[in-house]
Every structure is written in C-alpha cells, then in structure tokens.
Amino acid sequence: MKQPLHDITVVALEQAVAAPFATRQLADLGARVIKIERPGRGDFARDYDRRTKGLSAYFVWVNRGKESVALDLGTDTDRALLDRFLARADVFIQNLGPGAAGRLGLGCEVLRARHPRLITCDVSGYGAEGPYRDKKAYDLLVQCEAGLVSLTGDVASPARPGISVADIAGGMYAYTGILTALYERERTGEGTALSVSLFDALAEWMGQPYYAEAYGGAPLTRSGARHPSISPYGHYRCGDGGQVFLSVQNDREWVALCERVLRQPALIRDPRFADNPLRRTHDEELTGVIEKHFAAHTADGVVALLDRTGIANARLRTVSEFTDHPQLAARDRWREFGSPAGPLRGLLPPVEVRGREAAMRAVPALGEHTEAVRAEFAEQASSGADASGADQRPAG
C-alpha cells in the first residue's frame, strides 16, 4: 500500500534537531523530503558526535528517509534551483537563525504570495516578536528559560533531562501543525503560514507546574526521581540493593498497597497518609515505611508482588537494557535501514497503522542526491512541467 503522504513534497532548509525531527516524521509517512545543506559541511548536527559507526547519533536519529541536496544559496544558480523546488513543493520548513530566511527572500509572506498552495513552517527559538526574537536558542538554554531545569535534578543542584526536550516539543508541534495544514488545504485549496517556537512549545508542556505554583501558594522544588505531586511515586530500595519504581495514583491503589503489599492495613487510616496531598507532605516518612518492608525482599520479588497486586511499577533500565527490552522484541519493533556507514537498526515510529508499515529509508550522505535532483529539476525547468498540477509559478 502507498504511504499516506506519498504525493507530498517537503523542502527543508533545516539544521540541528527541531525541524529535522518534524520532517523525519513526514518522511516516515512517505513524504519526499528534500533537505537543503551547505556544500562541504552540511547540517552542523552531522558533527555533533561520531558514536553511530562514525556518524552522528543525532543526525542519524532525525534524518532518516531524506534526500540531501547541497546548495550554495549565495549563488544565483542554486538560488534559482531552490525556487524551482518551491514551485513544486507542498511544504517549506526552515529553522535558520533569526532573520536568515527573510534575508534570503524566503520569508513566509513572500513565498505564500508566489505559491498560494504552499504551506510554510518557520521554527524558531522564541518567536518572531518580543525582546528574545533575535536571541540564539539551543535546547538546554530554552529549557532554562522555560523553567524546566529548575524542576529537574535533586535539591542540591539542577540537571538537564537526558534528551532534547525543547527540540522534540518544537518538532512535534511543527509536525502536527503541518499535518493540520495539509488537511485544511484539501478543503480550501489554500496553503497557510505556520510558526512554532521552541519556547512556546515547552511553555505548553510546563502547564501543570505553572498551575501548581501559580495557585498553590508555594514555589515548587526539585524532587530528583520522586514525583513532585504524587506519593508514593518514585524509587524504593530493596533487600538485594536493587531499586523498584512504583506509582500509586488513587485511593483504591493505596488501599491495595497497604493491605496486600505492605501488609499494614493500619496505614490506610494513618492521619499522615489519609490522602495524596498528605502522603506527599510526609513522603520521607512513607518512604521509610515502604523501604523497611522491601528490605526483606529482592527487587525481582517486589516487582512480582506489585504485578500480582495491580500496582504500577518499573525497573530502572540502562540504555543498553532498554535496547534489549523484551516488550520491543515481542512486538517486533526493530527494523534495519541504510546509512553511509552501512546498515543500522532503529525503532518503528510510535503510531501503528493497520496494514501499513512506515517507510524507514536510508540516512543520506551529504549531498548524496544533489546531481540527481539538479538533473530532475533542470528537465522540468526546460519543459515547464509542474508535477503538482497546481498554479505554482513564481511571480515575474
């Protein structure tokens, strides 16, 4: 079966993580993604590390299934070629530095005036207005400005989350915004101009901490691997030195934990633990009670007991242990795809569509598709063909 976006062409003037993450989702759905890169160096994410058979783990992660075309947009020839790309494109996405797209004549107003069916998506750090509009924005720095880092880590010091949360948030909102715009265009025939800032995306994800602090009467504090609002919810030591994470979300589960796991039904009526806010207030005392009981058991034994009782739990796995996770193996989630360094293994995208499997095409080498794409669009320029069938002719 054809992929859902098999007839969609995306031109991506992108770098780093946020916009490439969005376009990789589109590529997995079958879209043709033409990735514009600088000759010689390319997307600077190619140089972040060499941990994946000599390739950058970041680049491999977010650039599968794209065509790499190296263009020098400072030359008239390559700039004209980009214009021909855009005349056929359904989507144009860019996350250049502040103001760079406009200086190249690629602002959304200009492009939308020339190509009414084109969907443009600008991904920025802080948005096009306001005092931070020209400020450079990288993932951890946006996390700091959005208040996230103030909530991660332990009491002694803040910590960066282990993944690029701001980039992922911005990329996912760009992806869903583009899908929404494609759906709207099917009804109206018109494209639209989208904009997503990493700061706004992460600000949305900070909603619960905002409401808790703004209306809770006291500032939030860092709680390490404990939940800041729910108790018991976190890691607990067992007799063999292992740790088990568990979560109690409601009074029914609290009663089950007391009666069937801890074998202390009197805790149910203990005034320190009568409801979740009280349990959170007395979390250290409750932790002592739980760990005293767990001290007589191995971590595997505690997990088995929690499973039988219906209490949510987890083991703290390393990345290597995650890679060998039995759930991924049982559901056949791993696939092989190509790269300049040879075959690599990666996970299928999270959304499963019955009867279809995502297109997991190769990670491109820098400029791998330049000559083929130049030849394709040179032929189209000489013939005047517009494969989209729409009036996408540049003005003038």
The residues spanned by each domain of the chain are 9-206+329-383, 233-316
**Which 3 state secondary structure label does DSSP give 245?**
strand
- Looking at residue 222, its pLDDT comes to 87
What's the pLDDT score for residue 355?
Answer: 87
User: Residue 149: which residues within 8 A CB-CB, separation 6 or more?
Assistant: 140, 143, 158, 159, 160
- 369 catalytic residue (yes or no): no
**Amino acid 354: pLDDT:** 86
pLDDT at 388: 40
Q: Which of 6, 115, 227, 293 is catalytic?
A: 227
CB 206 within 8 A of CB 195: no
Pick the CATH number of 233-316 from 3.50.50.60, 3.30.1540.10, 3.40.50.300, 3.30.70.920: 3.30.1540.10
Rounded CA-CA distance 134/380 in Å is: 38
Mean pLDDT by 10 residues, the chain (396 residues): 93 97 97 97 96 97 98 94 96 95 94 97 96 94 96 90 96 98 97 98 96 90 88 95 95 96 95 95 96 96 96 93 96 97 96 89 98 89 49 31
Phi first, then psi, for residue 271 (nearest 5°) are: -60, -20
48-87 per-residue burial string, b: 16 or more CB within 10 A, e: under 16:
eeeebeebbebbbbbbbbbbbbbbebeeeebeebbbbbbb
What is the bridge-based pairing of β-strands 233-237 and 334-337? Answer: unpaired
- Paired strand residues for 336: 345
pLDDT at 184: 97
Give CA–CA dist 302/238, Å, rounded: 8
Contact 34, 373 (CB under 8 A): yes
What's the confidence (pLDDT) of residue 378?
86
Which stretches within 314-391 are classed as H helix? 319-323, 326-330, 370-383
The pairs formed by 378-381 with CB atoms below 8 angstroms and a separation of 24 or more are 380/84, 380/88, 381/84
Alpha-carbon distance of 362 to 343, in angstroms, equals: 9
Q: Yes or no: say if 140 and 152 are a contact pair by the CB < 8 Å rule.
A: no
Please determine, looking at this structure, whether the domain spanning 9-206+329-383 carries the CATH number 3.40.50.10540.
yes
The span from the CA of 58 to the CA of 28, in Å, is 17
